[in-house]
Amino acid sequence: MNEAAAGGRPKPEAAGGPARDRTIAADGATLALGRRRLWEGLTFTVPRGEFLVVLGPNGAGKTSLLRVLLGLQRLTSGSVLIDGHSPRRGDAHIGYIAQYRAIDPDLPVLGRDLVGFGLDGHRWGPALRSHASAARIDGALDLVGARSYADAPVGRLSGGEQQRLRIAQALVSGPALLLCDEPLQSLDLYYQRVVVEQIADWNRRRGATVVFVTHDINPVLPVVNRVLLLARRRWALGAVDEVLTAETLSRLYDAPVDVLRHAGRLVIVGADLGAHEHETALDGAGHHIHP
Amino acid sequence: MISLWQYAFVHNALIAGAITAIVAGCVAPFVTLRNQGFAVHGLAEVSFAGAAGAVFLKLPVELGVLGASFIAAVGFGSLGVRLRERDVAIGSVLAFSTGIGVLFLTLYRSYSTEAFSILFGSILAVGPDDVIRALVVGAIALGALAVIGRPLRFASIDPEVADARGVPVRLLSTLFLLVLALAVTVTVQVIGVLLVLTLLIAPAGTAQRLTLHPVRVTLYSVLIALGATLGGIVCAVYTSWPVSFFVPAFSLGAYLTARWLGPVQRDARTVRGETEDGAAGTAHSHAGSGS
């Protein structure tokens, strides 16, 4: 029933030598929320420095998987280890870009504040910052090219500008593992490219592992190592060419699915990957992995 | 006229008023940040029941106010974060506790002046003991706010990421309600149960019309609260009209003035957002935003 596509693309050559660590190791991981089973028997390892894309329809449990990795959600059974430990809430080695949420334009919060939260927002005590901390925040702002609007109220910035600040917030603590939940949502094509480049850059230059939840694989096609597809309580893991095939998808969905390649983009016909919230999994006519 | 300033009660009123204004001015920006105006009102109404109960049992009124609002703070804190549910629960408790307060005062008829001073404040009747009490309670409130301020802001603005970073979001919610209970206790003395919002919301709302810089918002909020409170006391001393008329009048006056004349426009994107976006906007179209 489960579909672990044989031998994904071998893990990338990390800049810092052989990546012996298995950053994420899932073994029979199963999650049910209430009476609903999201996925079962997830068994895989993600080597350090891998760029893993998680695809699947709405409600397949993509965000829940990230919550498990963040230590915010307990598994129903099985185990997930990060660098050999159970996920810990507040792990400083993990950067997290949460799903986009509009920020009230009247909030008295500056871009710099938002980024600073990623560094020391969890600390108690008076909010006095050392020069070293301020420099790290500036560095993160520079990394995403957000320095010019760092002192503007966040709520007054565009979605693309806010998203870059969120990336800086996730990167400012220097994470070895970056968890991104639909970071391209509500961004136009230009900013989709910018955001993917920034995350891919962190992945390549720092050798950081990236788990990237999305419904559209096309913007990340040039940088992805492997794909984890969650659908209908089943899953498949492997290189793009192995997982996103008519054969694998048809088996996963119990229905004929076609995968078309057109002008360097993938178009999936007959399987819902959650691109549109108003379309249901039963909507066989949807053309997904989009646009 | 001038001779009024020789009276100790005027000095006491001004000192207690200044302490109250500083505490309220520092707490108010968090109230607006967290949309907790209704909780403030709820705490105040519950403290009315506590005060009336204390009168009935011949205990110090302040003890009743503090005890009841602390219990209410813990209760509200356990309500969770769903706004609609929270409002219904607070609204029901608020009405019920006002009823209890009325019951106590009816059972203890001779204290109708007590009822009046609980509901509308009694700043011109405070003695040296009251001033010291306000100072101690106010100092505890500000000290606690200094300790929890940074994670509280993080949790208020970005609860999901704060949770992932290990910030105890629920605990902070309750701790802030306890700080609010202290602030309400101090404020009730000046302005009364029914009018606490005039010092615990309005100054921050006004400040946010003048600036969205977080430090300046707090500074302006304190200055506005000081102006309204001290101005109200001075006017009351000269005219013999009640303090509780002047303070809300000044507070509202400041808010309306800032609304009409303040630089912070309701309309988002007028302050900023043209620099990079404008340039990027011409370079790409908004076609195919992907979701």
DSSP class of residue A99 equals P
At B110, is the pLDDT very low, low, confident or very high (cuts 50, 70, 90)?
low
DSSP-based three-state secondary structure for B119: helix
Encode pLDDT of B43-69 as tens digits.
998 998 998 888 888 888 888 999 999
Q: Calculate the average pLDDT of chain A.
A: 82
pLDDT at B289: 36
Q: Calculate the average pLDDT of chain B.
A: 84
Encode pLDDT of B215-256 as tens digits.
999 999 999 999 999 999 999 998 989 999 999 999 999 999
Q: Which residues face A26 on adjacent strands? A: A44, A80
Contacts of A149 (CB under 8 A, 6+ apart): A111, A157, A161, B272, B273, B275, B276
Burial label, A34 (beta-carbon count in 10 A; 0-12, 13-18, 19+):
exposed
Cis peptide before A222 (omega within 30 of 0): no
Phi, psi of A209 (to 5 degrees): -80, 140
Chain B residues touching A153 at Cβ < 8 A? 212, 271-272
Q: Of the ranges A243-247, A277-281, B27-31, B194-198, which is most confident?
A: B27-31
User: In this model, does residue B79 exceed pLDDT 80?
Assistant: no
> Which of A70, A117, A188 shows the shortest C-beta gap to B286?
A188
Beta strands A234-238 and A265-269 are unpaired
Q: In what order do the strands lie in the sheet with A22-33?
A: A36-47, A22-33, A77-82
Asked whether the beta carbons of residue B157 and residue A153 sit closer than 8 angstroms, the reply is: no
Half-sphere exposure at residue A247, Cβ-oriented, CA atoms within 13 angstroms? 6
DSSP class of residue A29 equals E
Average pLDDT over residues A239-261: 79
Closest Cα of chain A to B290: distance in Å? 6
The closest of A156, A59, A244 to B271, measured between CA atoms, is A156
Asked whether the beta carbons of residue B291 and residue A103 sit closer than 8 angstroms, the reply is: no
Q: How far apart are CA B231 and CA A236, in angstroms?
A: 70
Q: Which residues face A213 on adjacent strands? A: A54, A181
CA B129 to chain centroid, in Å, comes to: 23
Size of interface A-B (CB pairs under 8 A): 155
Closest Cα of chain A to B198: distance in Å? 20
Average pLDDT over residues A35-46: 90
Return the CA Rg of chain A: 19
Asked whether the beta carbons of residue A120 and residue B157 sit closer than 8 angstroms, the reply is: no
The closest of A169, A225, A179 to A87, measured between CA atoms, is A179
Contacts of A251 (CB under 8 A, 6+ apart): A3
Q: How far apart are CA B215 and CA B210, in angstroms?
A: 12
A272: contact with B, CB 8 A cutoff: no
At A273, is the pLDDT very low, low, confident or very high (cuts 50, 70, 90)?
low
> Which of B33, B273, B284 shows the shortest C-beta gap to A189?
B284
Average pLDDT over residues A117-124: 91
Share of chain B above pLDDT 70, in %: 86
The closest of B161, B136, B162, B133 to B148, measured between CA atoms, is B162
- The residue type found at B136 is V
Chain B residues touching A126 at Cβ < 8 A? 146-147, 149-150
DSSP string across A148-217: GGTTSBGGGS-HHHHHHHHHHHHHTT--SEEEEESTTTT--HHHHHHHHHHHHHHHHHH--EEEEE-S--
Residue A72 has a CB neighbour count (10 Å cut-off) of 16
Phi, psi of A122 (to 5 degrees): -90, -5
Q: Which two tokens stand for residue A235?
A: 């899953």
User: In this model, does residue B99 exceed pLDDT 60?
Assistant: yes
Chain B residues touching A155 at Cβ < 8 A? 268
Beta strands A51-55 and A209-213 are parallel
Chain B residues touching A70 at Cβ < 8 A? 164
pLDDT at B3: 67
At A115, is the pLDDT very low, low, confident or very high (cuts 50, 70, 90)?
very high
Beta strands A209-213 and A226-231 are unpaired
Chain A 209-248, residues with CB within 8 Å of chain B CB atoms: 215-216, 219
Helical axes B61-77 vs B128-157, angle rounded to 10°: 10
pTM comes to: 0.84
Q: How far apart are CA A75 and CA A88, in angstroms?
A: 13
- Secondary-structure breakdown of chain A: helix, strand, coil percentages, each rounded to the nearest 5: 30, 25, 45
- The residue type found at A250 is S
The closest of A32, A167, A50, A30 to A100, measured between CA atoms, is A167
Q: Give the ranges where chain A is alpha helix by DSSP (H).
A: 62-69, 111-120, 131-143, 159-171, 189-206, 240-243, 246-253
Chain B residues touching A105 at Cβ < 8 A? 268-269
Asked whether the beta carbons of residue B157 and residue A109 sit closer than 8 angstroms, the reply is: yes
pLDDT at A103: 87
| Closest residue of chain A to B168, computed from CA coordinates | A122
Asked whether the beta carbons of residue A113 and residue B214 sit closer than 8 angstroms, the reply is: yes
Q: CA distances (Å), A239 to each of A5, A29, A202, A219, A256, in order?
A: 8, 21, 21, 16, 21
Share of chain A above pLDDT 90, in %: 43
Is there a contact between A149 and B275 (Cβ–Cβ < 8 Å)?
A: yes
User: In this model, does residue A213 exceed pLDDT 70?
Assistant: yes
- The residue type found at B22 is I
At B280, is the pLDDT very low, low, confident or very high (cuts 50, 70, 90)?
very low
Contacts of B260 (CB under 8 A, 6+ apart): none
> Which of B151, B160, B269 shows the shortest C-beta gap to A124?
B151
Asked whether the beta carbons of residue A121 and residue B153 sit closer than 8 angstroms, the reply is: yes
Residue B262 has a CB neighbour count (10 Å cut-off) of 15
Closest Cα of chain A to B245: distance in Å? 29
Is the alpha carbon torsion for A59, A60, A62, A67 positive or negative? positive
Asked whether the beta carbons of residue A122 and residue B33 sit closer than 8 angstroms, the reply is: no
